[in-house]
Structure 1
């Protein structure tokens, strides 16, 4: 069955007086070049409002016509990100749909993807939130010590719940000296999209890996044809929270330039069947759950076919340091 909203869940969570806010104060100056390759050949891919929380502001995704990197432009400042992240856990229907990619079954599949490699003694989950992935992954890797990082207090709650052993609050690049060469596996699951600098995150992840350790990355695929088909109603565009959407070729090129050996590329199994359901939910502002029955059925019926085409909405890469 499709997700249903909790009784009384609000879809507009702006605080009193914020609808009159000049949201432009939360943006950095607009870039005229691509943050990935430096090209000045940019095109506007998307212009939208906050369709998830209905807070004020207009957000633009630009795309480089040379390397295809997509990025928020102008980008939110740290204060802007904090403002738009603040109410994100509210139980609106689109957010419940978005969280299906963090379900128990998907987490088990991710953990099992590492069974091909030596059993890790230590594993760091970057952007772990409440530690739901480590809690599930421990069932597959019972002898592994799981730690987590997150910029919010959620990581400390994850430790209190026993889902991770060590909690590190903050951004991974700021924790490198403390964690250098400590881990056998580092996972970044739909984390790079939220990073102000994905390259900095990748370098930090490799720095905290031991020689021979593995980095597991899963991200939204900006080449997904659902983006073209659905436009601003494609849930994975994730504005204003997604700052970068990195094409697979760009990520592979960067990891190889950093000296990594690519051991797995998967554009099939990471696909999450929620594109049509998410679009309808956004369009209806999450207020008509019965209308989701048809798109929900289509998403799941078509998933075995779509995940083998350019309609797959995510990809996974595993590399060895």
Structure 2
């Protein structure tokens, strides 16, 4: 009993030391991030306004620039004066930019922080896949870009529509969007409903999670004040000083409320986040995005209910008793799982061939089943999410092009990307091989979007084996990136590639590596199983043999360099998303208050696991690539020159 006070004292000391360490680390992170954001803010240029006097040498008014070739979007609560209009047009003409986002010179401090978190002007223009982000106050674009994007200019535009317009303009001018600060432009008042509109449009399904994490930062600070008050004061001081650190000095963007907002930030920012959270349901109800309108459309829910009432057995064929790759009758069960992402009904099975190790969905989906399970994943409700995921990084896209470059003397004249989706790979590849024309082929309407955006030259829509005869011999290079595993008959797809290639043409294939050890470690939560979409997971030796049988010569193979470090982070996301499903999906029962609470709690509790997954991916990747290869492989093959 006499040891108890000492034990408590030691425990208290340990907690105090841990609190001090966390508080000091927090202060360092806040300062470091402030310096990073300061570089972003300093890179924002000021809009050049014409001199106040517009009189010519004889007292006549100087002619104004014609703005017929340019169109504007003005957010609600913002007024576009003539001087700013003329200056914006002059900026586009002098720089050759296609789109400009004009930042109000008096943008409030917290909103300005959000802007420089989202946008680094030094790299934004050179990052064609970067998401379109800005101040969402004033946009100007060349009329032809607006026409291609099918966007109608206007004034008093809602903030969600401003976010959507910014996204689409960036997609249609991926290398030609600027940000400038307009000193004559004034920001609209910041209100909770407006903040909720922007948050919902920017973060989508993750809005509640993002706002909750924002509040949690301040809860952590409050806890540190109790456990380590002296060190916590440093963290609070760093937080209060951060806006001044970011925007202080001679810069184009210098918010006028730095003093008041900064001083009240520990109280004001979490209060704003809470106010934003309370307005999220109303913002969702008022959202005019295509995805949200489809979520709310009663006809969509009725259609999904009618299909569910018929049962899902009709979406699968009879189970196979032989391997679709080699014909062997020796099969064993690899995996049983469900749809972990969309939560559509059904149970799916993956079998393994004991003879050739080919892994395949058994029973496989029918054409009708593929249509059902793909619906609202890459298009409709899931369109923006899919576009975001494919645009997270361009590293793998560049690596694929570099693999081809090592085996050619001159760039190919034309390249067909099969399964191109929205054309992310051609967009990046065209920046590396500037003299190559990239076309795309896909079954979905994403290929039409890619052509309209200018990410591909020509879009072919349909099934590759059905279109290949009309494209025979037309391409020097064909690529299939994470496409072959989605197809019903991979051998037919490879034969189609051989048909459309000219003699000596190259075929580049990248697919998941079913021999990766993480498939056994993570089980159903390993991303490459990806049911019900992935029909076949092909061992590298099997693919190479099939290519050789078609007359190809294997030029190169990559396993470790093709690895994508996402296994643990996305595995954690799959698990969290299963426990706390996304809300307001028309194929699921109507969302209740309990569902919303479960989603909020699940995302909050799951955040540390997803962050831990990101760290685990980076830690494990070097060893995994060295001893196992990784989760992806690439094969480059060439047709004979006399084919």
TM value normalised by structure 2: 0.47
Q: Deviation per CA, 1:63-83, whole angstroms, max 9, x where unpaired?
A: 100000011111100010010
Q: Which among 404, 409, 412 is matched to residue 114 of structure 1? A: 404
Specify whether residues 178 and 91 from structure 1 end up closer, same or farther in structure 2 by C-alpha distance, changes over 3 A only: closer
Q: Which among 323, 326, 330 is matched to residue 37 of structure 1? A: 326
Aligned counterparts, 1:69-84, within 5 A: 69-84=358-373
Cα distance in structure 2, aligned partners of 1:208 and 1:102:
31
Cα distance in structure 2, aligned partners of 1:145 and 1:174:
23
Q: Is the 8 A contact 2:376 2:382 kept in 1?
A: no
Could you list the structure 1 runs, at least 4 aligned residues long, displaced by more than 4 angstroms after superposition: 13-16, 18-21, 95-98
Give yes or no for the alignment of 1:290 onto 2:290. no
Q: Is the 8 A contact 1:101 1:272 kept in 2?
A: no
Give yes or no for the alignment of 1:319 onto 2:608. no
Cα distance in structure 2, aligned partners of 1:160 and 1:115:
28
Q: How many residues align?
A: 315
Cα distance in structure 1, aligned partners of 2:207 and 2:535:
32
Give unpaired runs (5+ residues) of structure 2: 1-202, 209-283, 285-290, 581-601
Q: CA deviation at 1:171?
A: 1.2
Q: CA deviation at 1:258?
A: 1.0
Q: CA deviation at 1:263?
A: 0.5
Specify whether residues 195 and 67 from structure 1 end up closer, same or farther in structure 2 by C-alpha distance, changes over 3 A only: same
Aligned counterparts, 1:1-321, within 5 A: 6-7=206-207, 15=301, 17=305, 20=309, 22-89=311-378, 90=381, 99=389, 103-116=393-406, 117=408, 118-285=410-577, 287-288=602-603, 290-291=607-608, 292-310=610-628, 312-321=630-639
Give unpaired runs (5+ residues) of structure 1: none
Q: Whose RCO is larger (CA < 8 A, sep 6+)?
A: 1
**Structure holding more strand per residue:** 1
Q: CA deviation at 1:87?
A: 1.5
Specify whether residues 267 and 145 from structure 1 end up closer, same or farther in structure 2 by C-alpha distance, changes over 3 A only: same
Cα distance in structure 2, aligned partners of 1:97 and 1:290:
23
Q: Deviation per CA, 1:39-88, whole angstroms, max 9, x where unpaired?
A: 11000101111111000001000110000001111110001001000011
Q: CA deviation at 1:141?
A: 0.3
Q: CA deviation at 1:99?
A: 3.5
Q: CA deviation at 1:309?
A: 2.5
TM value normalised by structure 1: 0.92
Q: CA deviation at 1:21?
A: 5.0
Q: CA deviation at 1:236?
A: 1.0
Q: CA deviation at 1:103?
A: 2.7
Q: CA deviation at 1:109?
A: 1.6
**Structure holding more helix per residue:** 2
- Give the secondary structure class of the aligned counterpart of 2:635: strand
Q: CA deviation at 1:315?
A: 0.3
Specify whether residues 266 and 109 from structure 1 end up closer, same or farther in structure 2 by C-alpha distance, changes over 3 A only: same
Q: Is the 8 A contact 2:559 2:629 kept in 1?
A: no
Cα distance in structure 1, aligned partners of 2:572 and 2:447:
32
Structure 1 vs Structure 2 CA RMSD? 2.4
Q: Is the 8 A contact 1:98 1:274 kept in 2?
A: no
